[in-house]
């Protein structure tokens, strides 16, 4: 019985130590080549448990099922969801894209408020 207790204690301490080693992401911008050949500058934030990506100017993005980074929003469950619009660097965006990003940003802010209540 003492061996089992000792084993469980050591196992618990190891799990605690592993959870304390969350390493922050490197937010340094790096280029990503989209499947269509366009290059997008991406920044990574967070750690092993919670992380997200943005464009160089801070727009939230997520990768979709076809390996494209798309503009994204946070849903009411706190999940980052890619939209259907492929992300571009700021200097390549259309006015329509900028309006779309503004709507997604408002949607994310609204859902984050709900989550924080």
102-107-109-110 Cα dihedral, nearest 10 degrees: 140
Given this model, what pLDDT does residue 92 score?
96
Q: How far apart are CA 115 and CA 112, in angstroms?
A: 5
Given this model, what pLDDT does residue 22 score?
62
Given this model, what pLDDT does residue 109 score?
86
Given this model, what pLDDT does residue 18 score?
53
- What residue segments make up the domains of the chain, in order of their start? 24-116
Given this model, what pLDDT does residue 58 score?
92
Given this model, what pLDDT does residue 1 score?
60
Given this model, what pLDDT does residue 110 score?
86
Given this model, what pLDDT does residue 116 score?
73
Q: How far apart are CA 15 and CA 35, in angstroms?
A: 39
User: Which parts of the chain register pLDDT below 50?
Assistant: none
Given this model, what pLDDT does residue 87 score?
97
Given this model, what pLDDT does residue 55 score?
95
């Amino acid at each position: 019985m003492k061996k089992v207790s000792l084993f469980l204690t050591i196992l618990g301490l190891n799990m605690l130590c592993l959870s304390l080693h969350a390493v922050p992401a490197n937010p340094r911008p790096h280029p990503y080549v989209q499947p269509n050949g366009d290059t997008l500058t991406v920044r990574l934030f967070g750690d092993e448990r919670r992380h997200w990506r943005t464009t160089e100017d801070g727009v939230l993005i997520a990768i979709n099922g076809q390996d494209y980074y798309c503009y994204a929003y946070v849903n009411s469950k706190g999940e980052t969801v890619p939209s259907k619009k492929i992300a571009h660097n700021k200097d390549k965006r259309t006015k329509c894209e900028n309006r779309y990003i503004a709507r997604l940003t408002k949607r994310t802010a609204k859902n984050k408020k709900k989550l924080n209540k």
